[in-house]
Structure 1
Amino acid sequence: MQARLLLEDGTLFTGQSFGAEGASVGEVVFNTGITGYQEVISDPSYCGQIVTMTFPLIGNYGITRDDFESVRPFIHGFVTRRYEEVPSNWRAQDSLGRLLKEYGIIGISEVDTRMLTRIIRRHGVMKGILTTGSERVEELQERMGTTPLPRNQVAWTSTKNVFSSPGTKERIVLIDYGAKSGILRELTQRGCDVIVVPHNTTADEIRRLHPDGIQLSNGPGDPKDVPESVETVRQLLGEYPIFGICLGHQLFALACGADTDKLKFGHRGGNHPVKELESGRCYITSQNHGYTVKEESVAGTDLVVTHINNNDKTIEGLKHAKHPAFSVQYHPEAAPGPFDSSYLFDQFLDMIREHKLKNPERPRQAQLSEMLRGELQYAQK
């Protein structure tokens, strides 16, 4: 079946359909990863976007349930140069096309993805409509123009209920703005007692869980669409150690008085070089974001820039000068991508331990376990 992708600037791509049928409007972006298409599709940060993979061969190793980064994909479309319908991998449990069809996502192959990527790089990300129907171009343009891009995608992707991943060490409250499973995995592998809460959980509700530290997750969209989350971070700052990732990094910056802005075409892929300013070392990082902290807005705040992007010099890391809190714009949990920066989770736990030594009056976790389990069960009801 034929499929078409029409961009906001009038450029039309025609290709072959795979996955679901119908029509979908979204923001057209590109990802430069060579592998990891399943993790890309299931990353909640892509909510509302039509994702183009620059690597030409997609679908060749199929789909494996263990590699999902969320319970379901939230993308609005998938664009490839070539789609391999029959996967060849001993771990494969399904094909990419069947996965997309199951969740109502349209895929299009046989597209000149190099041309499409060059258009986005030159003109910036733009709205697009992906369809398997026979509508006239004028009808598609009208539908695209009257269909707004989704706002506050955080509410779509965040968990609706509190849940826990029990551990024996530090208690971490993970605020889910659209969290990837990799973040929870990194914390639990270190023995942390993790409690995952919805994005709109208040500071007082988080305090009742008596955390040792707060993890701010990644998530989709504009950080300014969730001002209540900014206020929650502001209230918790200085009271608990905080570690922000991606959207969590932007919310941390806003809570400290800095500002954010939209990038021309964003950073999406597993090969982005980031320089750590203190050591001068360069890390290869996994990234997926369309917004950045404005460099000039950091002046006059208590924030210190710790990392920059070696490609465009945008801010990739921040720390607070007075409180135990830091953040990075990239993904230390990778999935997909390199694990060069997983040490940041250890750095977060070291910060928590140091904070606890300086505040010995804080209740010990073991003394609170029974009470907290009761509170958690109540919250889940």
Structure 2
Amino acid sequence: MTAAYVALEGGHVIEGRGRASGTARGELVFTTAYSGYEESLTDPSYEEQILTFSYPLIGNYGVREERFESDRVHPRAVLAKELTDDVAEWLSSEGVPAVDHLDTREVVTDIRDSGAMKCGIAVGEDVTEEDALAELEACKTMSEHTEIGAQVTVDEPTVHGDENDGETVALIDCGAKGSIIDSLVARNATVHVLPHEADVDSVEAIDPDVLFISNGPGDPANYEGAIDLVEAFVEDTPVAGICLGQQIVAEALGGTTEKMTFGHRGVNQPVLDLESGRVVMTTQNHGYTVAEPGEHLKVTQVNVNDDTPEGIDGIEYDVLTRQYHPEANPGPEDTLDFFDDVLAMADAHDQRAVPADD
């Protein structure tokens, strides 16, 4: 059996079975999803993290590329109770260390009690506990990954749905899931995907109906370029955001964000709409949240479990953001109408901008 060691912050080392060799370090987090492992593993929001699956068997319906949310696996390593050979071989081909035969219930309990923590992984024929501890020693906090956006954004602008005749969306790619783009294109939008540090001139050249800030990994305070874009366009252009995007919008408009203890990660997070009283189940993957929205924004939806903001609207600006993932993949589709609402906001803004006939 290939040796595998998992070193947790504080020095505790767990031994498991190695399924894909290598060394890694990152923030240890967990997801409660019992399906959608392909989507989770290719979600850019997991960059610089080590993903623990709480569901015991991962891989029971194979690996299909059409379910991927990006072009690669993003977690630095993967932990599970049991991984099928299909998933183990996929992770090995991606160079992502994987460990199973772990008591993931204990790992998840540790994270819930202590919070997301630094972690070091060593998997291979000749690795030792000291190798895992060395990775742990070199591990950074998520806030210290100041250039994390560059690891997940597009290299060059791309256009999707260019034959559509609906709204034009400038999507700032901070680590966007592919299904966000697909959801907008399916609603007849043309989506221009721009790097996370795109400048004002690049966005103005598109003349978008909506500035859309995507999901992504890390501390929202490190996305200064995207924050600047929101500040520059919010007075004249509708702004939308998902997950990290909500946090970036809040940072740009005078709000504050903070690190959560262990975040929201899974497909069964209940969200309450404060106006309608409706509760929906949502897919989530984030470790930061909006602490205070500021004077330009109002909280419209909250998490039922901890009252953290899940939906934010503008007060005097056209702003619509969600902390959860309305596009799901994986997860329930209770909130897909968010994309309709965003495009309707843009259309209403356009209508108001049309001068009345003399």
Gaps of 5+ in 2: none
Aligned partner of 1:325 in structure 2 is 319
Root-mean-square deviation (CA, aligned residues, Å) is: 1.4
1:111-130 CA-partner distances (Å, limit 9, x unpaired):
00000000000011111111
Aligned partner of 1:168 in structure 2 is 165
Aligned partner of 1:107 in structure 2 is 98
1:235-281 CA-partner distances (Å, limit 9, x unpaired):
11121111100011000000110000000000000000000101010
Q: Is the 8 A contact 2:296 2:317 kept in 1?
A: no
Aligned partner of 2:35 in structure 1 is 35
For 1:1-381, what aligned pairs fall within 5 Å after superposition? 1-19=2-20, 21-85=21-85, 95-133=86-124, 134-149=126-141, 150-165=145-160, 166=162, 167-294=164-291, 297-299=292-294, 301-360=295-354
TM-score where L is the length of structure 2: 0.94
Identical columns (%): 36
Q: Is the 8 A contact 1:203 1:232 kept in 2?
A: yes
Q: Is the 8 A contact 1:152 1:222 kept in 2?
A: no
Whole-angstrom CA distance in 2 between matches of 1:143 and 1:39: 27
Whole-angstrom CA distance in 2 between matches of 1:14 and 1:124: 21
Deviates more, 1:202-211 or 1:326-335: 202-211
Q: Is the 8 A contact 2:155 2:195 kept in 1?
A: yes
Question: When the two structures are aligned, how many residues end up with a matched partner?
Answer: 349
SS in 1 for 2:206: coil
Whole-angstrom CA distance in 2 between matches of 1:131 and 1:274: 38
SS in 1 for 2:179: helix
Q: Is the 8 A contact 1:47 1:76 kept in 2?
A: yes
Structure 1 residue 59, shift from structure 2 partner: 1.1
Structure 1 residue 226, shift from structure 2 partner: 1.5
Whole-angstrom CA distance in 2 between matches of 1:342 and 1:139: 45
SS in 2 for 1:104: coil
TM-score where L is the length of structure 1: 0.89
1:188-214 CA-partner distances (Å, limit 9, x unpaired):
111111111111111221011111111
1:163-187 CA-partner distances (Å, limit 9, x unpaired):
1111221111111100000100100
SS in 2 for 1:40: helix
Whole-angstrom CA distance in 2 between matches of 1:232 and 1:135: 46
Structure 1 residue 65, shift from structure 2 partner: 0.8
1:42-90 CA-partner distances (Å, limit 9, x unpaired):
00000010000000010111110110001111210000001122xxxxx
Structure 1 residue 147, shift from structure 2 partner: 3.8
Deviates more, 1:132-141 or 1:3-12: 132-141
Q: Is the 8 A contact 1:46 1:75 kept in 2?
A: yes
Partner amino acid, structure 1, of 2:107: L
Deviates more, 1:304-313 or 1:133-142: 133-142
Structure 1 residue 105, shift from structure 2 partner: 0.1
Gaps of 5+ in 1: 86-94, 362-381
